[in-house]
Amino acid sequence: MALSDRPAERHRQVAGRFTDRVRGTASWDAPSPVDGWTARDVVRHLTDWFPAFLASGAGVDLPRGPSVDEDPVAAWQVHCDGVQAVLDDPETPRRKLANPHIGSVPLDEAIDRFYTADVFMHTWDLARATGQDDRLDPGFCAELLSGMEPIEDVLRSSGQYGPRVEVPGDADVQTRMLGFIGRDPFWRPR
């Protein structure tokens, strides 16, 4: 199933897949493909960085659930539901998010571009760490990759992406995207 190009619906689809992986996690201490992170840290990353980004850029305060250390499933669900409520608000497309690095962007587009895309990519991390289905939508992989490749130097200098991992020239788009963002697409837990 192809992902929607509407921010609220795309988040619902992407976050739904991530939620399935959260609920399917048996060991929160399992190492992840992100060096030094566990499965719990993947969830922590998503629930920690985005509330501050929204609050500072758009004055939006997301509800906070329990800590990821206390209950990662509930922490994710409260966070995810809060983001979806923002996206489902009919006023959101008319609101702006302002940030010194990106300027002023419609709020729904900012959420889609920076947050939903991050959830999408980290779905692979959590799935791979926990032995779950790690297939990603190839169309969105291609869209993200084509948007990131022209700004590779900016992305790498941000510190948000590791060095590119070389993959075979004939690799599928998911493998190429993972290599681009600094993941070893062939990583397996020990």
Q: Residue 1's pLDDT is what? A: 65
Which residue spans of the chain are classified as CATH 1.20.120? 1-26+33-134
Q: Residue 94's pLDDT is what? A: 96
Q: What gap in Å lies between CA 85 and CA 152, rounded to an integer?
A: 32
Mean pLDDT per 10-residue segment, the chain (190 residues): 92 98 98 96 97 96 97 98 98 95 93 97 98 97 95 85 92 97 93
CATH placement of domain 1-26+33-134: 1.20.120
132 contacts 190 by C-beta, under 8 angstroms: no
With pLDDT > 70 as the criterion, what percentage of the chain qualifies?
99
pTM for this entry: 0.95
Sequence-ordered strand ranges (E) for 56-185? 96-99, 103-106
**Would residue 149 be called left, alpha or beta, if left means φ above 0 and alpha means ψ between -120 and 50 degrees?**
alpha
129 token code pair: 């760490």
